[in-house]
Amino acid sequence: MVTIKDIARTLGVSVGTVSKALNGRDDVGDELRARIIDTARELRYEPDPIARRLVTKRSRTLGVFMLDRQGFGVRRNFGWLFLDGILHGAAEREYDLVLFSNTDDTRYERSYIDICRSRRVDAAIIVGLRGDDRYLDDVLNAPIPVALIDTEVSGGSATFVSSDNRAGAALALEHLASLGHEKVATLRAPFSYPGRLRYEAWAEFAAALGCFRDDYVRDGDFTPESGMSAAESFAAMREMPTAIFAASDLMAIGLIRGFEKRGVRVPEDISIVGFDDIPNADLVGPALTTVAQDTLGIGKAALDAVLDELDSGSRREEILVEPRLVVRQSCAAPRAAAGSVKG
């Protein structure tokens, strides 16, 4: 591996001068600088990031923690989608990403922030942090910039990045209204913070529409199974809603499967709209109309947040990125009236 000394030796100058020339400092002559740059290129010199970090005290590296939420496992882990946005932003700003996970409990018997400290990363992005995480306090009092994505918690010294859940829910609800629905129910996920926000948006909407009824809300836990049982429950009602806003795609798909089993068809008999736009949501039958989280935008925003804090020293409390409605085939206009004849 060719070092800065090699360049210095072949040119007969000092290493300090080479370093300054390569780093664009102004106390080196133009002619010499050109020669240094030339031979650096000829020798295919690459500055050693390790040595550089040792002296500059900044690693130009940030830690990303992919936390396994409630044991869903990888296949259901939505978090990977954010990683792509983070990755792009990091590449643009010439930072490296080191990746950690907490699924291996035996190893990470230490706080995420401790890991950051030992790895000397400049900042951290944590995706999927739960409210009952045992290291929650450490995270919220971290001495380095931290961004939280896809998380239940808020507050503290970390910046909270998420979709604008209320706006997203409004998008879905307005779509339903524009289709002519007047009886729209919800399957909420009240235990999570985003879930509560989405529910509140529904509650306001339903109140405005005059269809707020206690028996139009069911509780789920983000799993398809909870969607299926909610479908059973809805299907048994005397006066079924004509549309359901589910707080997540997984639950929305559970609803579809549950209704399917009971013989009520989507979207002919009932419209269903989800939230998230999980992978392959366009492939379940019928293709799910849902409000898509801008996972790329969220990842990028989180990255910009911590890096900006690193540069400027000023932290942002919260960043909301706008989701967008993607209409597919699980919603339709309600049937003329809740008649008695079936066909």
Candidate segments 12-20, 205-213, 252-260, 268-276, binder of DNA by CB under 7 A = 12-20
Q: Determine how many CB atoms are found less than 10 A away from the CB of residue 311.
A: 10
Round to whole Å and give the CA distance between 115 and 104. 14
Residue 15 interacting with DNA (CB under 7 A): yes
Instruction: Give buried/exposed letters for 211-248 (b at 16+ CB in 10 A, else e).
Output: beeeebbbebbbbbebbbebbeebbeeeebbbbbbbbb
Residue 170 interacting with a copy of itself (CB under 8 A): no
Of the residues 10, 19, 39, 101, which one makes contact with a copy of itself according to CB under 8 A: 101
**Residue 66 per-residue DSSP state:** E
129 binds, among a copy of itself, DNA, none (CB under 5 to 8 A by kind): none
Of the residues 34, 38, 42, 56, which one makes contact with DNA according to CB under 7 A: 56
Report the nearest approach of DNA to the CB of residue 226 (Å). Answer: 50
Cis bond upstream, residue 224 (ω within 30): no
Residue 34 interacting with DNA (CB under 7 A): no
Spatial CB neighbours of 131, under 8 Å, sequence gap ≥ 6: 152, 153, 193
Q: Which string of DSSP letters, residue by residue, matches 83-94?
A: HHHHHHHHHHTT
CB nearer a copy of itself, residue 135 or residue 202: 135
**Residue 161 per-residue DSSP state:** E
Q: Secondary structure of the chain: what % helix, strand, coil (to 5)? A: 45, 15, 40
Residue 5 interacting with a copy of itself (CB under 8 A): no
CB nearer DNA, residue 28 or residue 139: 28
Round to whole Å and give the CA distance between 200 and 151. 18
CB nearer DNA, residue 47 or residue 155: 47
98 binds, among DNA, a copy of itself, none (CB under 5 to 8 A by kind): a copy of itself
Q: Where do the H-state alpha helices sit in 187-274? A: 193-209, 224-235, 249-262
Task: Mark 110-139 with x for binding to a copy of itself (rule: CB under 8 A) and - for no binding.
Answer: -------xxxx-------------------
Positions in 199-228 near DNA (CB under 7 A)? none
Give the DSSP H/E element, type plus range, for residue 51.
helix 49-56
Of the residues 41, 44, 55, 336, which one makes contact with DNA according to CB under 7 A: 55
CB nearer a copy of itself, residue 101 or residue 154: 101
CB 2 within 8 A of CB 44: yes
Positions in 54-83 near a copy of itself (CB under 8 A)? 54, 59, 61, 64, 66, 74-77, 80-81, 83
Q: Determine how many CB atoms are found less than 10 A away from the CB of residue 108.
A: 16
CA-closest candidate to residue 187, choices 248, 246, 109, 268 = 246
Residue 87 interacting with a copy of itself (CB under 8 A): yes
Of the residues 27, 94, 105, 132, which one makes contact with DNA according to CB under 7 A: 27
Residue 49 interacting with a copy of itself (CB under 8 A): yes
Round to whole Å and give the CA distance between 299 and 66. 12
Residue 5 interacting with DNA (CB under 7 A): yes
Which residues would be at the binding site for DNA (CB under 7 A)?
1, 3-5, 12-17, 19-20, 22-23, 26-33, 45-48, 51-52, 54-57
Chain residues binding a copy of itself by CB under 8 A are 46, 48-51, 53-54, 59, 61, 64, 66, 74-77, 80-81, 83-84, 87-88, 91-92, 96-101, 103-104, 107-108, 117-120, 224, 250, 253-254, 256-257, 260, 277-281, 283-285, 295-296
